[in-house]
Chain A
Amino acid sequence: MEELFTDMTAFSGVWAGLSSVFSSPELWLLVLVGVFLGMTVGVLPGFGPPAAMALLFPLVYVLEPLAGISLLAGIFYGAKYGGAVTSILMGIPGEADAVATLFEGHPLARSGRAKEALAAATLASFIGGTAATLGMVLLAPVLSRAALFFGPSGRAAIMAGALFLVAFTSPGGVRRGLAMVFLGLALALPGMDPVYGASRLTFGSWQLSGGVELTSLLLGIFGIGDLLDALLGGGSARKDTAEADVTPVCLRSAGMAALRGSVLGFATGLVPCGAGVTASFASHALEKRLSRHPERFGKGAWEGLTGPEASNNAAAMASFAPLLLLGLPTNPIMAALLGALTIVGVVPGPSLPQESPAFYWGLIFCLLMGNLFLLGLGLGLAGFWARLARLPFRLLWPAILLFCLVGSYVGADGISSPVQCLFFGALSVFLKRQGCSPAPLVLAFVLGPRLETHLLQTLLSGW
């Protein structure tokens, strides 16, 4: 066990990663663009990080592996921050992770402290993201060596366990979660079987021979599905927010809460169980319990804002560790990133830091850089985000619809993809109306072929 913590060979590629980042200034620009685009889409009412990621997912097709994945990672945590902006200013969380931010952030905004609340959320996100990335660096040798102990049977067990865990913690309940997992696995079936290469469930249609397109599924479920859900649920509903009035922020308690939230978020981010939501709610509960004035919670307590925001971002960053070192996505966004890794030709696994040091360490540095950009853009453009968040919904949805359709067309280069995209949009709304969360479906869709491969390898080796 001691050997796990003392082996430093995993850090041997740090220099390669540093040089790949510093030798290409366009990479810096791409990370900046990714964070900005993620923030922009995340700030739009009714849209969370999955929608932002799905809308901009096709960009990965035209970029180098490191550039493409760094851009998507930037979009991811930019959109996470965007969710905090809408929670604080309008009381509309982009997704479940941002609900705990809303508890304290929105009352603060309504009491005229919108700018301070935004600044505190930005700083907390920065602390959480940076702490988790550094934690990931330290944990890399342990995780990658531990992952080497797993053969096909172990990997199949871990993937099946992850799917069950996600199903058991999904918002709709265990049975609905499991149903979504099986539906996701069924959607991944058409096309070539991953072990024998035989065609199956294509019903003689050449459009289905390549299987269901990941881009269309993501854009359909998180782009058009969210759009339809917002339309049917009145996503354009707005609340007025008070303008900021500058008063000193209780820095010490808020800072300590952010640090506690970072640790909590990092630990939960490594486990596939809806980490962001668990972490942010757990952090809010912890801060309330530790506070000398728990009665302030729900009315605008700074600790209650910075703790969940830091834990949310730390969980998001920590979820990169199981993705890169185990090939295990812990949430639908990481599942999309796993799909993107496959598209750009990177094989995640315990040997990734040794086999592709420039990519692995380059991505770590890009994550750190992205956090710095997030801090700069969040603090510097707070007024712009506030104005963008007030854009009328009637102007947004036609534009988003067309971007989704264009994205699905170019992502898969075929006319069947926009049709698939619209179908999945309608399916997503239907499932949500039936009380099911589509997140386990996406995770199962991405993990399905890998799980099948490992399972068949295990069965064949012991037959």
Chain B
Amino acid sequence: MLSPSDLIRRHTLRALFLLVGILVLTACPPAFSGGLPGPGLWPRVTAGGLLACALLLPAPKKAEKADRARKREAFILLASGLLWTALLVPAGWAAATLLAGFIACRGAGCSLKECVLLPVLLCLLLEVGVVHLLEWPLPEGLLPTLLPGN
């Protein structure tokens, strides 16, 4: 008898393929337009393949379980990434990088000094390399409005 967690683990991928297949089938345009193959034909072929895969996929092998500390690090990585994305436009790239970088460094187990120095170093790298050298536009956010003269 399989435990509920094993059951979920065995069938998540199949469910994902089934869901994506159904989504593509229901949302794509008609397969034929004016009697000719139309823009919906290829999505239907793809959806058919996805549904077939959902039926034929083998159950996954038992994966090695990551311990809590590793899971926590992975979670902090994703969370700091989301924080950077959320802060980028309102607060600007520098503030977002400093804050998300600090949290990511803390989650990675860096010392307080490393947690401060690494994001600052990254900001300097981005300022020199991305903003000045490559001239890629990064959102300034609130930073320019707070500087004197603006």
- Which of B41, B49, B53, B105 is in CB contact (< 8 Å) with A456? B41
Count residues of chain B with CB under 8 A from any CB of chain A.
Answer: 64
Query: Which residues of chain B from 107 to 127 have any CB-CB distance to chain A below 8 Å in the complex?
Result: 108-110, 114, 118-119, 122, 126
- Cβ of A232 within 8 Å of any chain B Cβ, yes or no, is yes
Complex: how many Å from CA A419 to CA B33?
Answer: 35
Main secondary structure of the interface of A (DSSP, over half): helix
Closest A residue, CB atoms, query B51 = A182
Count residues of chain A with CB under 8 A from any CB of chain B.
Answer: 61
Q: Are A182 and B49 in contact (CB under 8 A)?
A: yes
- Cβ of B50 within 8 Å of any chain A Cβ, yes or no, is yes
Complex: how many Å from CA A231 to CA B47?
Answer: 34
- Cβ of B60 within 8 Å of any chain A Cβ, yes or no, is yes
- Which of A178, A228, A401 is in CB contact (< 8 Å) with B104? A401
Give every chain A residue within 8 A of B88 (Cβ-Cβ): 409, 415, 418
Closest B residue, CB atoms, query A229 = B74
Closest A residue, CB atoms, query B135 = A62
Complex: how many Å from CA A193 to CA B114?
Answer: 48
Q: State the Cβ distance, A143 to closest chain B Cβ, in Å.
A: 28
Q: Are B29 and A200 in contact (CB under 8 A)?
A: yes
Give every chain A residue within 8 A of B57 (Cβ-Cβ): 175-176, 179
Q: Are A175 and B60 in contact (CB under 8 A)?
A: no
Query: Which residues of chain A from 396 to 432 have any CB-CB distance to chain B below 8 Å in the complex?
Result: 397-399, 401-402, 405-406, 409-410, 413, 415, 418-419, 421-422, 425-426, 429-431
Give every chain B residue within 8 A of A185 (Cβ-Cβ): 46, 49
Complex: how many Å from CA A402 to CA B87?
Answer: 13
Give every chain B residue within 8 A of A433 (Cβ-Cβ): 60, 63
- Taking A183-B17, A185-B46, A189-B24 as known contacts, 5 extra A-B pairs with beta carbons closer than 8 A to each other, sorted by chain A number, are A179-B53, A394-B108, A429-B74, A430-B12, A456-B37
For the complex of A and B, 4 pairs with smallest distance between CB atoms: A398-B104, A193-B39, A182-B49, A179-B53
Q: Which residues of B contact A (CB under 8 A)?
A: 12-13, 17, 20-21, 24, 27-29, 33, 36-43, 46-47, 49-50, 53, 56-58, 60-61, 63-64, 66, 70-71, 73-74, 77-78, 80-82, 84-85, 88-89, 93, 97, 100-101, 104-105, 108-110, 114, 118-119, 122, 126, 130, 134-138
User: 18 A-B pairs, CB-CB below 8 angstroms?
Assistant: A62-B135, A179-B53, A182-B50, A186-B21, A189-B46, A231-B73, A231-B74, A234-B70, A394-B109, A395-B114, A397-B104, A398-B122, A402-B100, A406-B138, A409-B138, A413-B137, A422-B85, A435-B60
